[in-house]
Chains A and B, each alone.
Chain A
C-alpha cells in the first residue's frame, strides 16, 4: 500500500466527464476529432495510399462508363429514357457512383476500423480509455468522409471536363439535404458493421460483403425497376435507394423517380431505425466480446 502511494505521489487525478452533460459531449467531440487527426497522420505517412484513395472514385467509375458506352455505342440510351425519363448514361451513372463512394466510406471506414486497431496492436489500449467506443469509430468515419469528399471532388472535375455533365444547379441544396440524411443512416449502418467485425474478426469480409450487397440493391448504374421484385423491396430498407432516387430527382432534368412517396420522410425513418439498431447491436456485441475476453484475438 505504501509502495503504491509512493508510486502515485505527484500524479494529478483526472476526473473524466460522464453521462449526458455538455462537458461530456465536448470531451467526446474532442475524442472524435483526435481520432480523425490520428487517421490523417497515419495516412499521410503513406503518400501512395493518400494519392491512390483520392483518385480511386474516378478510377472505379471509368470502366463502368466505358462499359455503358460500349453497350449502346454512345452516351444516350432510349431504354434508360423510357425507364427513368433521362437517357444520359454518363450523368445517370456519375450521380450514382458519386454517392456510392460514401457507402464504401461507411462500411469500410467504420467496419474495418476495429480490425485495423487489432492489427496495429492498439485495440485493447484504446478500449481502456474512458472514451465512448462509438466516438472512436465516428472519428475514423469522419476522416474517411473528408477523404471521400476530396476524391469525389476530383472525380467530378475530371468527368465534367472530359464528358460534360448536365446537372441542375438549383437542385444542389436539396440534394445535399438528402445526402446528409443518407449519411446519418449510413453512420448507423457502419456502426452495425463494426460491431459484427468485433465478433467475426475478418472485418474486411464483412465490409466487402455488405458493400457488394448494397451496390447490388441500390440504383447506382441502373434503375430499381430492372431488379427482381424481392430485391426492389429489400432495397427500400437501406438509405441508398431513396437517397439516390431523391438526389437524382433534384439534380437531373426530366428524371422520373422510381420510388413513390416522401423521400425525406422515408430517410428520416431509416435514420432513426439504423442509428438505434446500430448502437444497440454495437453495445450488445461490445459487452459480449469483452465478457468472453476475445477482444484482441484475430
Chain B
C-alpha cells in the first residue's frame, strides 16, 4: 500500500526524491549509450594534445623549469591527474547546472517545481547521479592511464584520495547549486556553465601549477575547491608525500565546501521563490 506524503518521514521522502532522480537520470543515460561512450573516450582527446605540446617545446617527458614550480619534472602525470579531476567539474557544472534548463526544454520543469518536495533535493539527486557517472568515467580513465601513461597509484593513497574526491565533489555541488539558481533567473545555464568551466581551467592548477599565474589570479584560484583537491591528490600520487602533509589542503577544502553548500542552498531557494513569483519558471 502506498503511503500518503504526510505519512512518510521527511528524511525518507527526501531520500526517495534523490533516489528517483538518480534512477531517472540513469534511464536517460541508458537511452543514449553514445553519451557514456563519449565521456569515457573523449577526455583522452582533450589531454593528449598537451602531451604533444610538451614534447614539441620541451623535447622530452621531463621539464626542469616545470620542476621548479610544480615539484616534479614529469608534466604528463601532472596534466593527466588534472584532466581526470577536472572531469568532475565538467559533469557537475553541466549535469547539475544545466539540468534545470534541460527540464525546461523537456517541458517538465513546471511539474518538478510544483511537486510537494524540497527542490534542492531534486538537484541533489541530479548531482548524485552525475557524481556516480563521473566516478565511473574517472576510474576507466585512471585504469587506462595506469596502463598506457605510467601513472603510479599505490594502495595506501586510495582511501585519502577518495576522501579528497568526496570533499571536492561536495564543493562542486555547492557551486552547481549556485549555477542552477542563476539558470532559473538568467536561463542560459549552458553559457554560465561554460564560463565557470573556463574559470576553473584558467585559475585552478589543472594543467600548470598555481605559481605559474600572477598573484591576483592565484587568489582567485585559492577560492576554488578543485585547486585544493588537485594539490592534495598530486602531493599524494606524484610527490609521494604522506597523508599528514595534505591536512592543510583538506581543511581548506572542507571550509570552502561548507561555504559553497550553505550559500548554494540559500541562493537556490531564494531564486526559486523569486522565479515562481515572477511566473517565469518555464520560460527559455
Contact = CB atoms under 8 A, between A and B. Distances in A.
Interface of A: 46, 48-49, 52-53, 56, 59-60, 62-64, 66-74, 77-80, 82-83, 89, 93, 119, 200, 202, 205, 208-209, 212-213, 215-216, 220-223, 226-227
Given A59-B202, A66-B208, A205-B38, A52 B54 contact: no
Nearest to B182: A48
Nearest to B102: A119
Given A63-B202, A70-B69, A209-B38, A56 B58 contact: no
B198 A216 contact: no
B108 interface: no
A221 B49 contact: yes
Nearest to B75: A71
Contacts of B45: 212-213, 215-216
Given A69-B212, A202-B35, A222 B52 contact: yes
Contact of B207 (A60, A67, A89, A119): A67
Given A46-B188, A67-B50, A216-B49, A52 B195 contact: yes
Which DSSP category, helix, strand, loop or mixed, fits chain B's interface? Answer: helix
B2 interface: no
Contacts of A209: 38, 42
B212 A70 contact: yes
Interface of B: 32, 34-35, 38, 42, 45-46, 48-50, 52-59, 63, 65-66, 68-70, 75, 105, 186-188, 191-192, 194-195, 198, 201-202, 206-209, 212-213
Nearest to A223: B56
B38 A208 contact: yes
B141 to A, nearest CB: 14
Contacts of A72: 57-58, 63, 65
B208 to A, nearest CB: 4
Given A70-B208, A119-B105, A79 B49 contact: no
Contacts of B55: 222, 226
Contacts of B213: 66
B188 A221 contact: no
B52 A227 contact: yes
B200 to A, nearest CB: 10
Contacts of A53: 191
B128 to A, nearest CB: 23
A48 B58 CA distance: 39
- Which A-B residue pairs are the 4 nearest by beta carbons? A73-B65, A79-B59, A222-B56, A212-B45
A68 B68 CA distance: 15
Contacts of A67: 50, 53, 207-208
Which among B186, B201, B208 has the greatest number of chain A C-beta atoms within 10 A? B208
Contacts of B57: 68, 71-72, 77, 79-80, 89, 222
